[in-house]
Amino acid sequence: MCGIVAYIGNNQACPIVIKGLQRLEYRGYDSAGLALLQNNQLNIFKTKGKVSDLEQFISTKNTESTIGMGHTRWATHGVPNDVNAHPHYSGSKNIAIIHNGIIENYAVLKEELIKSGHSFMSDTDTEVLVHLIEEVQKNDQCSLEKAIQEALNEVTGAYAIVVMDKNDPDTLYAARKGSPLVLGIGKDEFFLASDATPIVEYTKNVVYIGEEEMVVVNRNNGFTLKTIQNVEKTPYIHELELKLEMLEKGGYEHFMLKEIYEQPRSIKDSMRGRLNAIDNTIKMAGVKEFEHKIINANRILIVACGTSWHAGLVAEYLFEDLARIPVEVEYASEFRYRNPVINENDVLIAISQSGETADTLAAIKLAKEKGATIFGICNVVGSSIPRETHAGSYTHAGPEIGVASTKAFTAQVVVLTMIAIYIAFKKGKITESRYHQLIIELDKIPDKVKHVLETTNEQVKQISDIYKDAHNFLYLGRGYNFPVALEGALKLKEISYIHAEGYPAAEMKHGPIALIDENMPVVVVATNQSAYEKIVSNIQEVVARKGRVIAIVTKADDTIKSLAEHVIEIPETEEPFSPLLSVVPLQLLSYYIAVALGKNVDQPRNLAKSVTVE
Ligand code: M6R
């Protein structure tokens, strides 16, 4: 949560920082701020609200400076207001800081600092850190660099920080632990940011700052990379593959709609170079090296949060059904705190779009300590989770900016599907002809998703208009489509703020059926597959109680057509691949309801794209 960006070079810092903050706004959007070094003054401008409010706030002010840093906040400590917004000053106002993360021991440190005479303006943990840095510098009479290192060695928690010094207009100091930080290297200019999106416009050369590493960037002398224990490191300069147009709406009203519509392409990108329907093979470099571990695993543990956890549930069906490997799927936040039994014959798959989710990272570390093999499925290249894993596969869905995850989900499911089919074949659990049959059908999925988008969009829009004022929704599914029901409900909740619950269809009669009346829309994923008759019975049970059924069915399903109030048709496919098609109308449904209700689709209240706090 929170986005940070900083600039030093020959150009004006303010427009670069503001534009960068706009790109990072998906990480938090309750307040924003900027620090600039101007005529030997360290000036801070900050306000509650979005980056556009900050832009408005500074529009009449002098913002001339070639060194600056900014922050967009998702509040953890202290309500969102002007005072709690970053940057924060030290007591003397000689130092300023921006911070993404949480200083867990801030209360103890604050108490000690207060005893030493410090007073604080805000309720934030971040202000404590900048006071601590100043206190260390004063007590030890050391350089700011040394003081930052010592202070960081005293704090517990997570941070990506940038520090500016009033007395040094040529230097930026930055460090990270647990929160992401990227350095961009331009021609006589440098950028620091939470991810590469604010940087890509100016340079393709970046260094992903590692855990407990610090970078000191000097306008004239370049940068040095070291650990916060002061051990020099050799930087590895990556070349970004990210393209600027990927970060723009491209004519769509919202990023979420753009990302829903990108799915035929993003699914293809996830398959590119891996699934080959001409020679009928799946080749995944990340899997190859560790395939013996997966094939011989006692069980697969899957940890993730939110939508990624739903992708994990689909994977449970895939791996057990096709590869006959026992799978346990767990919320990372529960797994990490419940003393789970893990051993070296377990393979843990961590799924995360951002690659930064704090709970998922902690679950990985725990399983790694206990000897499990860790496999990561992430979207953001260079993020923290891929660095903690033994092996992994990127999903290659491209940047996902809408807070509600859409194309990342289908990309995760596609990658997991390819792995499951590959392992099933290697393990001898499916025949060669079945292997080929699955590959040929999987290859058709991007076109089928395109077809779903083309044929259901208008209908879903109309249905949204009918049900937009409902206070509750129930989503039902069975088998492979049970996780899709959960995902449909989550999408609706997060962007339209309508209460929705996802349930396995058969569980309905064990409780939720009591909720059904003529005001309850019930979305049923009822494709024509193994439990078809059962789900038809479930629909009948809903209809008998006057529930209003919106059914996602396989094309030409006359039975459900005669029962449900609305029927949304999707093409036939292999049952394991049906989530990739059935989820699409549910994404559209939540999108159009949120739009009809006038909600902020891309930046729903209280949420952030990257959850780097537990
Ligand atoms: O980046 P991750 O995939 O690890 O994020 C996990 C969840 O925070 C995320 O899926 C969240 O639930 C989304 N807002 C869902 O749309």
Q: Are 494 and 522 in contact (CB under 8 A)?
A: no
Take atom 4 of ligand 1 and give the residue whose Cα is closest. Answer: 352
Q: What is the reported pLDDT for 512?
A: 87
pLDDT at 1 exceeding the cut of 80: no
Is residue 248 pLDDT above 90, yes or no?
no
Residues 174 and 212 grouped into a single domain:
yes
- 439 and 509 fall within a common domain: no
pLDDT band per the 50, 70, 90 thresholds, residue 178 = confident
Which residue carries 């995760």 as its tokens?
Answer: 412
Do both 94 and 169 map to the same domain?
yes
Q: Is 22 in the pocket of ligand 1 (CB under 6 A)?
A: no
Q: Is the CB of 383 under 6 A from ligand 1?
A: no
Which element (helix H / strand E) includes 387? helix 384-388
Any domain includes 608: no
Asked if residue 594 belongs to a domain, the reply is yes
Once rounded to an integer, what is the mean pLDDT over residues 58-72? 97
371 and 472 both lie in a single domain: no
User: Considering the domain boundaries, does residue 612 fall inside one?
Assistant: no
For residues 212 and 342, membership in a common domain is answered with no
3-state secondary structure 156-204: CEEEEEEEEECCEEEEEEEEEEECCCEEEECCCCEEEECCCCCCCCCCC
User: What tens digit of pLDDT does each residue of 484-504 get?
Assistant: 999 999 999 999 999 999 999
Residue 606: pLDDT band (50, 70, 90) is confident
Mean pLDDT of the region 351-373: 94
CATH of the domain at 287: 3.40.50.10490
362 CA to centre of own chain: 16
* 494 CA → ligand 1 middle, Å: 11
Task: Please indicate whether residue 403, judged by its CB atom, sits closer than 6 Å to ligand 1.
Answer: yes
How are the residues of the chain apportioned to helix, strand and coil, as percentages rounded to the nearest 5?
40, 25, 35
Centre of ligand 1 to C-alpha 90, Å, is 34
Q: How far is the CA of 311 from the centre of ligand 1 (A)?
A: 11
609 domain-assigned:
no
- Above 80 in pLDDT, residue 345? yes
**How is residue 140 written in tokens?**
């030890």
> What is the Cβ-side half-sphere exposure of residue 324, based on CA atoms within 13 angstroms?
7
Is residue 277 located within the same domain as residue 152? no
- Closest by CA to 265, choosing from 439, 455, 450, is 450
Nearest to 411 by CA among 290, 490, 314: 314
pLDDT at 328 over 90: yes
- Which of 577, 262, 585 lies closest to 416 in space, CA to CA? 577
Q: Does residue 386 have a cis peptide bond before it, meaning omega lies within 30 degrees of 0? A: no
506-551: pLDDT as tens digits: 898 898 888 999 999 999 999 988 889 899 999 999 999 999 999 9
Instruction: Indicate whether 612 pLDDT > 80.
Output: no
| Statement: residue 26 has pLDDT above 90 | no
Q: Is residue 33 pLDDT above 80, yes or no?
A: yes
pLDDT confidence bin for 176, thresholds 50/70/90: very high
Cα(305) to centroid(ligand 1), Å? 6
For residue 441, pLDDT over 90 is answered with yes
Whether 494 is in the pocket of ligand 1, judged by its Cβ within 6 Å, is yes
Same domain, 178 and 283: no
Compute the mean pLDDT over every residue in the chain, rounded to the nearest whole number.
95
Does 569 map to a domain? yes
Confidence (pLDDT) at 371: 94
* Pocket perturbation via mutation, ligand 1, pick of 303, 313, 354, 379 by most ligand atoms within 8 A of CB: 354
Would strands 521-526 and 499-504 be described as parallel, antiparallel, or unpaired?
A: unpaired
| Per-residue pLDDT tens digits for 101-157 | 999 999 999 999 999 999 999 999 999 999 999 999 999 999 999 999 999 999 999
pLDDT over 70, % of the chain = 100
What pLDDT was estimated at residue 293? 94
Specify whether 588 is located in the same domain as 486: yes
Question: What pLDDT, on a 0 to 100 scale, did the predictor assign at position 383?
Answer: 87
Label residue 257 by pLDDT band (50, 70, 90): very high
Tell me, using a 6 A CB cutoff, whether residue 134 lines ligand 1.
no
- pLDDT value of residue 400: 94
**Three-state SS string across 356-376, please?**
CCHHHHHHHHHHHHCCCEEEE
Q: Are residues 260 and 206 in the same domain?
A: no
241 and 261 together in one domain = no
Nearest-atom number in ligand 1 for the CA of 611 is 8
pTM of the model: 0.86
354 lines ligand 1 (CB under 6 A): yes
Task: Specify which residues 13 forms β-bridges with.
Answer: none
For residues 434-446, one letter each, b for 16 or more C-beta atoms within 10 angstroms of the residue's C-beta and e for the rest, the string is ebbebbebbbebb
Q: Is 509 a catalytic residue?
A: no
| pLDDT tens per residue, range 34-59 | 999 999 999 999 999 999 999 999 99
Look at residue 556 in the predicted model and tell me its pLDDT: 84
Q: Which domain holds residue 138?
A: 3-246
Q: Decide which of 231, 246, 261 is a domain's last residue.
A: 246
Which residue blocks in 468-575 are alpha helix, DSSP H?
482-496, 532-544, 558-561
Mean pLDDT of the region 159-172: 97
Q: 335 in a domain, yes or no?
A: yes
Tell me, yes or no, whether 253 and 234 share the same domain.
Answer: no
In a domain, 563, yes or no: yes
Q: Name the amino acid, one letter, at 351.
A: I
> 462 with 350, same domain?
no
In a domain, 377, yes or no: yes
Under the banding of pLDDT at 50, 70 and 90, the label for residue 608 is confident
Q: What is the mean pLDDT of residues 331-350?
A: 94
Can 110 be counted among the known catalytic residues? Answer: no
Residue where a domain stops, chosen among 188, 220, 246: 246
456 Cα to the center of ligand 1, angstroms = 25
What's the rounded mean pLDDT across residues 69-90?
90
Whether 174 has a pLDDT exceeding 90, the answer reads yes
pLDDT value at 78 more than 90: no
Q: Is the CB of 352 under 6 A from ligand 1?
A: yes
**Total structural domains within the chain:** 3
pLDDT by residue (tens digit) across 547-558?
Answer: 999 999 999 888
Q: What's 157's domain CATH number?
A: 3.60.20.10
Mean pLDDT for 382-389 is: 90
CA-closest residue to ligand 1 atom 8: 306
What is the arithmetic mean of pLDDT over 161-185? 96
Confidence at residue 148, expressed as pLDDT on a 0 to 100 scale: 98
Of 443, 475, 498, which closes a domain? 443
